[in-house]
Amino acid sequence: MRIEARGLTFDVRAGGPEGGAPVLLLHGFPQHGGEWDDVVPALHAAGLRTYAPDQRGYSPGARPGAVEAYRLPELVADAVAVLDALGVDAAHLVGHDWGAVVAWAVAAGHPQRARTLTAVSVPHPAAMAWALAEDPGQKARSAYMTLFRKPGTAEKALLALNATGLRRMLHGVGGDARVASYADPLREPGALTAALNWYRAMSRRDLAATGPVPVPTTFVWSDRDIAIGRRAAEACAGHVSADYRFVELSRVSHWIPDEAPAPLAEAILARVHGQA
């Protein structure tokens, strides 16, 4: 389905019982709403209605050119506007990677729109800002962002030789077909630049300005995540003022929705049903 919001058109994967409690699923880089495909069957079986939009820059109809258009407040406003367009007053929020950043910020800034939050891989933005400033290990893990923030250079590096760099980065999501399902859409003109603009518009100030989350929250992190270290993950707890649970998945990489959909679905359902 397609949703018109804020003058943009978002492609949205919808599924599950029409009358089920709504779940908004927010994807990360360099993926799209299809990253939840192996997670949603369990949610649908539990009676939930899911919506997985291709976010700003990923939906061809929602691809503004200016870098500033990808700042965190704009991404948050998109998520809220999509809920408005769907007629959803409050949803269970689930986000992975950059989608987790957006979900954290929606829950912090618009708590009335969030029934619960399940954030995956990336901690609360303020915890991430702290780790980027204070944790040498996290600084090393995040060094790739320096490349991503260089216009033209990053695109060339990731798309050269049949997008070899992009495909290598996605190692761990599954077989060649799964990798291609994420990489191929970003080979379309302007698509990768729009996705990278999330990094280029990122500021530590925007991350640090995200307030505490006052809704029941679960943070799911994996011990083989090369992008997010333990100190950043464990700093999350200090930024949630409601019931909080930290779920650590063992021997799982950054690509949790692809690699461990069953335990992730279990964590989401436990939070949604108030069992966490």
* pLDDT, tens only, 257-270: 999 999 999 999 99
Tokens of 242: 């409601």
Rounded-to-integer distance, Cα 196 and Cα 135, Å:
24
Among residues 254, 276, 259, which one has the least CA distance to residue 267? 276
Tokens of 232: 């950043």
Q: Is residue 124 a contact partner of residue 213, using CB atoms and an 8 Å limit?
A: yes
Mean pLDDT, residues 26-40 taken together? 98
DSSP collapsed to 3 states, the chain: CEEEECCEEEEEEEECCCCCCEEEEECCCCCCHHHHCCCHHHHHHCCCEEEEECCCCCCCCCCCCCHHHHCHHHHHHHHHHHHHHHCCCCEEEEEECHHHHHHHHHHHHCHHHEEEEEEECCCCHHHHHHHHHHCHHHHHHCCHHHHHCCCCHHHHHHHHHHHHHHHHHCCCCCCHHHHHHHHHHHHCCCHHHHHHHHHHHCCHHHHHCCCCECCCEEEEEECCCCCCCHHHHHHHHHHECCCEEEEEECCCCCCHHHHCHHHHHHHHHHHHCCCC
Q: Which domains does the chain have, with CATH numbers?
A: 2-272 (3.40.50.1820)
Q: What is the pLDDT of residue 275?
A: 64
Q: What is the pLDDT of residue 274?
A: 87
Distance from the first to the final alpha carbon of the chain: 32
Q: How sure is the predictor about 121, in pLDDT bands with cuts at 50, 70 and 90?
A: very high
- Average pLDDT value over all residues in the chain: 97
* pLDDT, tens only, 87-119: 999 999 999 999 999 999 999 999 999 999 999
Other Cβ atoms closer than 10 A to 226: 10
* pLDDT, tens only, 225-239: 999 999 999 999 999
Asked if residue 204 has pLDDT above 80, the reply is yes
Asked if residue 276 has pLDDT above 90, the reply is no
Q: What percent of the chain has pLDDT over 70?
A: 99
Residue type, 135: D
Rounded-to-integer distance, Cα 2 and Cα 13, Å:
9
Q: Is residue 218 a contact partner of residue 248, using CB atoms and an 8 Å limit?
A: no
